[in-house]
Chain A
Amino acid sequence: MLVYTVRRIIGAIPVLILASILTFVMIDVSGDPLAEVRMAQPPPSPEVLQQAEERLYLDRSMPERYWLWVTGIGGNGDIGLLQGEFGPSTQGPQYDIGSNIAERLWTTLRLIGAAMVFALGLAIISGVISALRQYSKLDYTLTFVGFLALAMPTFWFAGIMQAAGVKFNQLVGEQVFATIGDGRFRAQGEPLWDQFLNAFAHMALPTIVLMLISFASWSRYQRTSMLEVMNSDYVRLARAKGLRNHTVIRRHALRTALIPLTTVVAIGIAGIIDGAILTEVVFQWRGLGDFFITAVDNNDSYALMGWLLLSGVVVILANLIADLLYAVLDPRIRYE
């Protein structure tokens, strides 16, 4: 198991390097960070332009810049991922990309984490129920809900939920749901219960929006995988041993039916990050989604690179965790 773990981690390194190259090249060729400055009226003086180019290292060749971006060697101390610096921003010399990302990371991870936990939990429960009651009314209802959720685009559903939240608040006459903002600075220093209430108010709607699509597809997977396992010979043998139905389902069916889900969830992470951007924009959270939009608006290539690389790292990490989890769940993998 240890060998397997080490091998998997070592295997992730080349993928990471490749991801960094791709990230850099894609952003670098996609536009000139100084395009707006150059187009400004009246045109800026060549000195100013040259200064800006030097600040953003645009006077160097692309391979040089990549090397600089990763290592920071030969830079002004504001660049070099290995030194913890993400590079200069077009949004002014005061704008520190690293600290901005760090500040917003927590906000976004909170949303993604909550959405994943709920999506996964509900997907497993509804998948199992659907499988056990195959072709029952409950199964059909859950299937319908699933496909409905799959069919709704995130931005649209987010808008609907926001409007519904506002309506609900009006109806109750109290602000149960906060429909704007992430509420990070609202409850600091308050008692724990108030902090929880505040977090709930702000998180409930975005979490529902973000989890729904993942929930829908995962619950379908879980249903299929559960059905397959329920018809397997070893589940029949477990019954033939004289185990009670609930023991068979929990110990033999569910345990093995979870294995394929780990892969599906790991692959789904990228989609969730996607959804998080949209959700954050609609609910006006100051998270990484907002960071991304701002960076695009400002042609801020280093900020975009940082963001994209971070998403890449999250996806790679998630897959690494899934791989390791797979090995824990399935002994057949461990010994390969």
Chain B
Amino acid sequence: MTTEYMNEEHTAGADPEDVVLEVDHLSVTFPSDDGPLPAVREVSYRLRRGEALGIVGESGSGKSVTSMAIMGLLPKNAQVRGSARLMGQEIIGLSDKEISKVRGQKIAMIFQDPLTSLNPVYTIGYQIAEAVLAHKKVSKKAAMDRALELLEIVGIPSPQQRLKQYPHELSGGMRQRVVIAIAMANEPDVIIADEPTTALDVTVQAQVLDALQRARRETGAALVLITHDLGVVAGQVERVGVMYAGRIVEMGPVEEVFYRPRMPYALGLLGSLPRLDGDRSERLTPILGSPPSLRDLPVGCGFAPRCPLARERCHEEEPRLVLTNGDTDRAAAQEGDTTVHTAACHFSDELVGAEATDLFRPTAVDTEGVGSVEELETAESSVAEAREEYREESKAVSESATEGSTEPEVLLRATDLVKHFPIRSKGLLRRKVGEVQAVSGISLDLREKETLALVGESGCGKSTTARLLLNLIKLTSGEVSYMGRPLQGLSDRQMRPLRKDLQLVFQDPFASLDPRMTVSDIIAEPMRIHGRGNGDAKDRVKELLDLVGLNPEHGSRYPHEFSGGQRQRIGVARALSLNPKVLVLDEPVSALDVSIQAGVINLLEDLQEELGLSYLFVSHDLSVVKHIADRVAVMYLGKMVETATTEQLFSAPAHPYTQALISAIPLPDPVKERTRERIIVTGDIPSPANPPSGCRFRTRCPKFANVLSDAQRTKCVEEPPELMDRGTGHRDACHYSEVVELI
């Protein structure tokens, strides 16, 4: 892949003939009751034949709307201005008859959610053949043959049978490959992929990206890859455009933008990203505030309100996208040159050689209610001072405390947790016809003041385990104890006093706060339940809001007035209101945008240090886990496959599944991402209702498939591996584990 990419780079010239898609000053405005919403403003770019262009941006940056406008798929009320020329043909404003000749034939699109982008009532084969028949006058038989061929190309096993199946019979990863097959059916010149892997697990993401590359090779199509994942961009494209508040703010070759960003936003985005290849001790540098509302965009640069570099000029004049060396003549001369690096910043020259840490501070506060950056700084420094003092005090205390005892106390202990959910028949009797083995024998300890991460892909049982630990659902068998006291069998009433110590933060900050309650009421509710709702509860709420970096005066507002990151902070404040000892964080940052996620991660780190909390951190995102966790437990299909300290696990993963997981996570570093060793996992996660015998991972294990002898394989099939200590507490459950260095 690497060499191919290099070749393309060399052959790519500035020949205007070579441009397949030329977007010119494209703007999209949606009318709304509160006035027009300019979702996309003056976006221009060129796409060369066979080139891969990435468009990155956070939610609401207009990246999807741009491509929808090009495809003519926006709702009728959208006002689209500007032009988009596909192979020289203007495609904005075409009639239905004309645009349907272009769509699918010259330009194709892949959508985000594979579970909803196929029609549930038609077979896979029919839906692919339909794409062929829409543009080619061939027989149905020939179209079906082509569909079969396409399924083979995108790597779907036993394609002949799949043709006759319906979408619901395929996994998400398979369905997305079917969508890719549809996109490449007529060998288009351009494929637009809109977050094609966001809804998928990482190991499946790797497979789908692979299928996408194969589709490009096969058709020679140019690719526009829209994503929020900087890692995916780093590995898949040659050029990247960064969008913010409806505009492209930086564009250039991927190495240029990643290694030498010239727009503070791009720099900040990279700095706010927890990295698999980064150091744990490095603090993240979030971008303060949140993206501007499209309804009332700032006058000057859209990023100015969040930009630490912003000066007067930034608030008055919107910067144009110019060459980063400031040479406008050259820009004019090389109109068609797509290899240049451009940025929309008045002071981009000052960013030469800058690091994210030079501009952005590793803070945990939020800007809510703070007017300007200066004000914020004072606000922040006061908080920081308070925290610093607190920290030093607590450090002194904890140091003196830890001198004597060597091992911190175990707070939560789980032994052989098993949870089976019955599967019942549909009939009147609802007989039990099987069971989903969600959790099958998990043992773990959560010690005082540590962060234990529970990692795995969807369906591995990590959330179920978290719920079992809190006694929120009933165990099938096993034991859970909190500070030596067994929790199983406790009634709700007996459990209640313990709930104070064990609190939960949910994944979705939008669904976990009651929209009809004020923030104060939400935070005070746990106190009310535990009979502490009177008297100083109000002060306590203010204190908590301050603690999580929000303005204490905003308690009377409702959740909808806050952004996603702020809501998650409210969720944390609620969990903290009873002074818990243990916080179970179920994917606490996975619903947040990168630039906001960093602030919440910093907050969690600070709170742990300040309040001496223990975290059970449930996540699918290994980069975040690497950043925040002390110890990691990796789960696969209800079993723990490996557990170690973060340091051990990431530097020397021993289980093939852990290795595959780590290697499947794209690094936001173009060179590293393209050159590192890959351990590819095939297939999908088997159903937990019917897990494979012996080692549960063997059906997808690269080692089982490629390295082991038949005799060795027999052991994997027949004997479930136990978690074995490989020394220094690093345990894995593989008969043939072997340490590999991956990062």
Binding site for B on A (CB under 8 A): 7, 11, 14, 232-234, 236-245, 252, 255-256, 259, 329-332, 335-336
Please give, as numbers and ranges, the residues of chain A lying within 8 Å of B185 by CB-CB distance. 241
CA distance A331 to B118 in the complex (A): 13
Min CB distance A327 to B, Å, is 11
Q: Given the complex of chains A and B, what is the CA–CA distance between A11 and B428 in angstroms?
A: 8
Complex Cα–Cα for A233 and B111 (A): 8
Cross-chain contact A332 with B109 (CB below 8 angstroms): no
User: Within B101-130, which residues are at the interface with A (CB < 8 Å)?
Assistant: 101-105, 108-109, 111-113, 116-121, 130
Q: A240-B103, A329-B121 are in contact. Are A245 and B109 (CB under 8 A)?
A: no
* Pairwise interchain contact B105-A332, C-beta atoms closer than 8 A: no
Q: Report yes or no: A232 in contact with B116, Cβ–Cβ below 8 A.
A: yes
Known: A236-B111, A331-B166, A336-B426. A242 touches B131 (CB 8 A): yes
Q: What residues on B are CB-neighbors of A335 within 8 Å?
A: 169
Min distance, Cβ B118 to any Cβ of chain A, angstroms:
6
Query: In the complex, what residues of A have CB within 8 A of residue B113's CB?
Result: 233
In angstroms, Cα B641 to Cα A195, docked, is: 80
Which residues of chain B are near A240, meaning CB under 8 Å?
71, 73, 103-104, 108-109, 111, 183
Whether the pair A239, B103 counts as a contact (CB closer than 8 A) is yes
Shortest distance in angstroms between A163's beta carbon and chain B's nearest beta carbon? 44
Instruction: Map CB proximity to A onto B133-168 as digits: 1 under 8 Å, 0 otherwise.
Output: 011000000000000000000000000000000101
| 14 sampled A-B residue pairs with Cβ under 8 A | A11-B428, A232-B116, A234-B116, A234-B117, A234-B119, A237-B109, A241-B104, A242-B100, A242-B103, A242-B134, A245-B96, A329-B121, A330-B120, A332-B166
| Distance from A186 Cβ to chain B, minimum over Cβ atoms (Å) | 46
Given A234-B117, A252-B119, A255-B121, are A241 and B166 also a contact pair (CB < 8 Å)? no
Report if B453 contacts A (CB, 8 A): no
A255 surroundings in chain B (CB, below 8 A): 121
Instruction: Please tell me if the beta carbons of B182 and A241 are within 8 angstroms of each other in the complex.
Output: yes
Task: Write the nearest CB–CB distance from B98 to chain A, whole angstroms.
Answer: 11
B121 near A244: Cβ-Cβ < 8 Å: no
Q: Which residues of A contact B121 (CB under 8 A)?
A: 255-256, 259, 329-331
Contact of B130 (CB < 8 Å), options: A7, A241, A256, A259:
A241
Name A's interface SS: helix
| B371 beta carbon closer than 8 Å to chain A | no
Write out the residue numbers on chain B whose beta carbons fall within 8 Å of the beta carbon of A259: 121
Which residue of chain A lies nearest to B134 when distances are taken between CB atoms in the complex? A242
Q: Does B179 contact A (CB under 8 A)?
A: yes
A256 touches B135 (CB 8 A): no
Q: A243-B134, A245-B96, A332-B168 are in contact. Are A238 and B119 (CB under 8 A)?
A: yes
Q: Which residue from chain B places its CB closest to the CB of A232 in the assembled complex?
A: B116
How many Å lie between the Cα of A242 and that of B101 in the bound state? Answer: 6
A241 touches B116 (CB 8 A): no
Complex partner residue of B428 from A14, A239, A329, A332, CB under 8 angstroms: A14
Q: Could you tell me which residues of chain B, from 51 to 71, have a CB within 8 Å of some CB in chain A?
A: 71
Asked if A332 and B103 sit within 8 Å, CB to CB, the answer is no
Contact A7 B427 (CB under 8 A): yes
User: A237-B118, A237-B182 are known contacts. Are A242 and B105 too (CB-CB below 8 A)?
Assistant: yes
Residue pair A243, B96 in contact (C-beta under 8 Å): no
**Least CB separation from B111: chain A residue:** A233
In the complex the two chains form, what is the Cα distance from A27 to B427 in whole Å? 31
Task: Across the interface, name the chain A residue whose C-beta is closest to B182.
Answer: A241
With A11-B427, A331-B168 as given contacts, are A242 and B116 in contact (CB-CB < 8 Å)?
A: no
Confirm or deny: B97 has a beta carbon within 8 angstroms of a beta carbon on chain A. Answer: yes
Query: Closest Cβ of chain A: how far from B96's Cβ, in Å?
Result: 5
Tell me, in angstroms, the Cα distance from A90 to B361 when the chains sit together. Answer: 93
Of A11, A233, A243, A336, which contacts B117 at CB under 8 A? A233
Closest Cβ neighbor of B118 among chain A residues: A234
Residue of B nearest to A245 (CB): B96
- Report, nearest first, the 9 A-B pairs whose CB atoms are least far apart: A242-B104, A233-B117, A233-B116, A242-B103, A234-B119, A241-B104, A241-B131, A240-B109, A331-B166
Identify the interface centre among B113, B120, B135, B183: most chain A CB within 10 Å of its CB: B120
- Add 13 more A-B contacts to A11-B428, A237-B119 (CB < 8 A): A11-B427, A232-B116, A233-B113, A234-B116, A236-B111, A238-B130, A240-B73, A240-B109, A241-B182, A241-B185, A330-B121, A332-B168, A336-B426
Contact pattern, B 168-184, Cβ under 8 Å of A = 1, otherwise 0: 11000000000100110
* Closest chain B residue, CB of each to CB of A230: B75
Q: Are B100 and A244 in contact (CB under 8 A)?
A: yes
CA distance A336 to B425 in the complex (A): 9
Cα of A215 to Cα of B357 in the assembled complex, Å: 66
Kindly list chain A residues whose C-beta atoms are within 8 Å of the C-beta of B71: 239-240
Are A256 and B120 closer than 8 Å at their CB atoms? yes
CB distance from A92 to the nearest CB of B (A): 43
Asked if A244 meets B97 with Cβ closer than 8 Å, knowing A7-B427, A232-B116, A330-B120, the reply is: yes
Which of A14, A232, A241 makes the CB contact (< 8 A) with B134? A241
1/0 per position for B444-460, CB-CB distance to A under 8 A?
00000000000000000
**Which residues, 427 to 449 on B, are CB-close (under 8 Å) to A?**
427-428
Complex: A234 Cα to B113 Cα, angstroms: 10
Q: Which of B102, B112, B118, B426 contacts A242 (CB 8 A)?
A: B102
Instruction: Please measure, in the bound complex, the distance between the C-alpha atom of A241 and the C-alpha atom of B188, giving whole angstroms.
Output: 11
Contact with A along B183-212 (1 / 0, CB 8 A): 101100000000000000000000000000
Question: CB-CB < 8 A to B117: which residues of A?
Answer: 233-234, 236-237
Query: How far is it, in angstroms, between the C-alpha of A243 and the C-alpha of B119 when the chains are bound?
Result: 14
